[in-house]
Amino acid sequence: MKVLLLALLILPSFAWSKTPIDTSKLLESERNTIETFRNVGGSVVNVSSIKIARGHWLFDPEPMEVPSGAGSGFIWDNKGHIVTNFHVIADSDQFNISFRGDKKQYKARLVGAEPKKDIAVLKLEEMPKKLSPIKVGTSSNLLVGQKAMAIGNPFGLDHTITSGIISALGRKIKGIGGVKIHGMIQADTSINPGNSGGPLINSSGQLIGMNTMIFSGSGTSAGVGFAVPVDTISAIVPQLIKHGKVKRPGLGIGILDDYHKNYFGIESGIVIKYVSDESPAGKAGLRGMGKDRYGRYYVGDIITKIDGKPINNFDDIYHVLEKYKVGDKVTVTYERDGKSKTAKIKLTQL
């Protein structure tokens, strides 16, 4: 028994001894991964979401804090702004941020979100001793085949790094906001639940995307992951910090959903459900749906193009208009009573 105990006491001393590693014997790719993790790991955080659940007013009147989600995020600036996915913090009331090597959890509040891009920004209410904002790169010059690394907290295993390559660019993937996110980066870096909101990094340690979703039949990594491109993040995050939302241009109309559009037998274009007389579209003379003398609905105007670009659903009009600014003028082509018409409309803020 004494011998066994001695062995148990001695073995860990060998297992835990820190022998200096000769990095010159490592491959260049290995040294790059190690250096990237050392430089970027401190910029990655764990994001925990909490929902305030309220019981029955008579039997359980006290509110309870219930964990509602967990994911990753990264430090955007020295002011304590944290960027993550919208779906990580959706429908939650409180947020806790954990940093590498720091056991304390720091409370944060929601600054703003853009669900259609699956982007959210949190703000720390209490600052740690040190913040290490991530180095922001660009996604416009990425190449298929180049190295990509993901850092996050898969299955709650904090600060895990995985390495792979960019498998494809320019993917259009439907996100949580109901429209497709354009320009998505496809990578084969292992991404699992908990990685959402974490950074996708290039070999220079720069942010090139935010890991958002995977294609998998089992719910675990299958080597097909998608990240929101950093150029989209760089365009959205400053607006969320400044305004709490994205100022998007629009026509000032309501659109009939696809189910009811098909009910009326309309295959192309988008049906204007309603339009205010004071909106740009209303002032341009466009009409929405109406009722006849018997109370039956009839279709008004159907928009088919904007500046010559075909429009067939909400996804189309969203991505066409996001390329414009509030105040820009566009030419809208629409059908009324089987005849094609055009109108010049000044875009308003939504």
Q: Alpha-carbon distance 56 to 76, whole Å? A: 40
User: What is the per-residue DSSP string for 121-190?
Assistant: EEEESS--S---PPPB--STT--TT-EEEEEE-GGG--SEEEEEEEEEEEEEEE-TTSSEEEEEEEE-S-
Alpha helices in 28-156 (DSSP H): 28-40, 86-89
- Mapping DSSP onto H, E and C, the string for 297-334 reads EECCCEEEEECCEECCCHHHHHHHHCCCCCCCEEEEEE
User: Which letter does DSSP use for residue 269 in this model?
Assistant: S
In the chain, the amino acid numbered 274 is Y
Beta carbons within 8 Å of 90's beta carbon, 6+ residues apart: 69, 115, 176
Phi and psi (nearest 5°) for 64?
-125, 145
Where in the sequence numbering do the catalytic residues fall?
87, 118, 196
Report the chain's terminal Cα–Cα distance, integer Å: 76
Place of tokens 């297992």: 15
